[in-house]
């Protein structure tokens, strides 16, 4: 997988003073582009927390076709990390967008390990 990491200094769109952008291309680009639905993506990270703030997806013609913006997150109780609580996905080719928002998130809930067994997941 080909990756590139660079620093952006002034990004007014997300109103962050500094962000990291990571570019990744699917392995064997032509074979995997159909499977992944994109040929390249650029992920923007907040420098202090390394939280994902935005992901841009490009098609085979290297045109921006989809953007996912993380609007809000919530820390995971007792752990390092966060869960997305508000996200907007925009399709730039057809102008449509979708929003996913979770109002009540319990990050301290306990889930039994057998919840994710093959047997439980196939029911």
State how many domains the chain has.
1
pLDDT in tens, 6-65: 333 333 333 333 455 555 555 555 566 667 778 888 999 988 888 899 999 998 888 999
Q: Are 20 and 3 in contact (CB under 8 A)?
A: no
pLDDT in tens, 66-113: 999 999 999 888 888 889 999 999 999 999 999 999 998 888 888 888
- In three-state secondary structure terms, 116 is helix
Would the pLDDT of 3 be above 60?
no
The answer, as to whether pTM is greater than 0.75, is no
State the CB neighbour count (10 A cutoff) for residue 42.
17
Kindly report the CA angle at 73 between 117 and 67, in degrees rounded to 5?
90
The CATH number of the domain where 69 resides is what? 2.50.20.10
Q: What is the residue range of 111's domain?
A: 3-121
Query: What's the pLDDT score for residue 4?
Result: 35
Query: What's the pLDDT score for residue 7?
Result: 33
């Amino acid at each position: 997988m080909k990756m590139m990491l660079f620093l952006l200094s002034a990004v007014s769109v997300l109103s962050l003073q500094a962000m990291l952008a990571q570019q990744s291309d699917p392995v064997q680009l032509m074979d995997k582009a159909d499977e992944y639905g994109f040929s390249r993506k650029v992920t923007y990270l907040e420098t202090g927390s390394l939280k994902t703030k935005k992901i841009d997806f490009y098609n085979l013609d290297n045109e921006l076709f989809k953007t996912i913006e993380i609007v809000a997150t919530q820390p995971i109780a007792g752990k390092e990390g966060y869960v997305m609580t508000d996200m907007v996905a925009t399709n730039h080719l057809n102008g449509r967008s979708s929003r996913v928002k979770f109002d009540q998130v319990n990050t301290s809930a306990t889930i039994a390990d057998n919840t994710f067994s093959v047997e439980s997941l196939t029911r």
